[in-house]
Amino acid sequence: MSRVAIVGSCITRDLWRFRGGNGAASPHDLLYVSRTSLPSLFATPLAGFKPAAKPPGGLKPQPHRALIADLSKTALASLVAFRPTHLIFDFIDERFDVLSVGGTLVTDSWELEASGYRRQPALRGARAIPRLSAACERLWLEAAAETAAFVRATPLAEAKLILHSARWATRRRTAQGREAAIGDVEILPGRGADVGAHNDLLARYEAAFAGLMPALSRIEAPDQRLADDAHQWGLSPFHYTPDYYAEIWRQLAGLGVREAVAA
């Protein structure tokens, strides 16, 4: 069966939750690296960071593990050790600002804010590098080149590489089944977002990434990018209707992704 690693966001992980059918991915067959950014992924561990024994701030275990991985920089070793048959990248989590602190970079995610870790001495004096800034884009492009070199130099080169191309939706399906505009969007509470600017950034990221990486298969469903008021995780520009997940799953199956069947 397939062993799938995801470096990305919930839009790819949710395929296994929402696609329907009788299959179920085992935790042993799926590795999910999220709430990070390529510059943070390749940075050095945050000196002095002390993770809590239990998830703080009401975080669930998986988001807390992702946060610890981003701060402690353990994701790359986990990816290599996992030896995936398929490695999927999506860049929807590349919306958060990057923080420069203690000689390293970390991702300014909602989980970091909610956890209370920002109050630790290790994160004192953190300086934000805005996601849409030229400085952040330069850091990302440098890290994309590091990603390509890392894949080529490790067993990840044996995996089928897949780019899940997604964008922020501008339309939503209401509870009444109608289409409507999404309206104002926030990345974090009180931090509004320019949807068009982020979608333009994603297009530049994807084009640069495809030019740097070994051969990538591309999966996308631009005609199905419709946000869903009834989504399990609530309304968001990247919480799509079921038709989106069904189409993307169909394309993944065509690339050889198979699940183990639940007993």
Q: What is the pLDDT of residue 203?
A: 98
DSSP character string of 171-189? EEE-TTS-EEE----EEET
Classify 136 as helix, strand or coil. Answer: helix
Q: What is the pLDDT of residue 99?
A: 98
Contact 100, 108 (CB under 8 A): no
Phi, psi of 30 (to 5 degrees): -145, 125
Q: What is the pLDDT of residue 262?
A: 35
DSSP character string of 151-219? HHHSGGGGSEEEEE-----SEEE-TTS-EEE----EEETTEE--HHHHHHHHHHHHHHHHHHSS--EEE
Q: What is the DSSP letter of 121?
A: G
Question: Domain 4-254 - what CATH class?
Answer: alpha beta
Say which amino acid occupies 70: D
Can you read off the two tokens belonging to residue 83? 């030896």
Residue 112's closest CA among 185, 47, 186, 188? 188
Phi, psi of 167 (to 5 degrees): -140, 165
CA distance 252 to 238: 19
Q: What is the pLDDT of residue 261?
A: 39
Sole residue written with tokens 């993770």: 51
Please list the rounded mean pLDDT of every run of 10 residues in the chain (263 residues). 94 82 58 97 97 94 96 98 98 98 97 96 97 98 98 98 98 95 92 96 98 98 97 94 95 87 34
CA distance 166 to 251: 14
Contact 30, 16 (CB under 8 A): yes
In angstroms, what CA-CA distances link 151 with 32, 37, 165, 216? 17, 16, 19, 12
Q: What is the pLDDT of residue 93?
A: 97
Domain spans of the chain, in order of start: 4-254
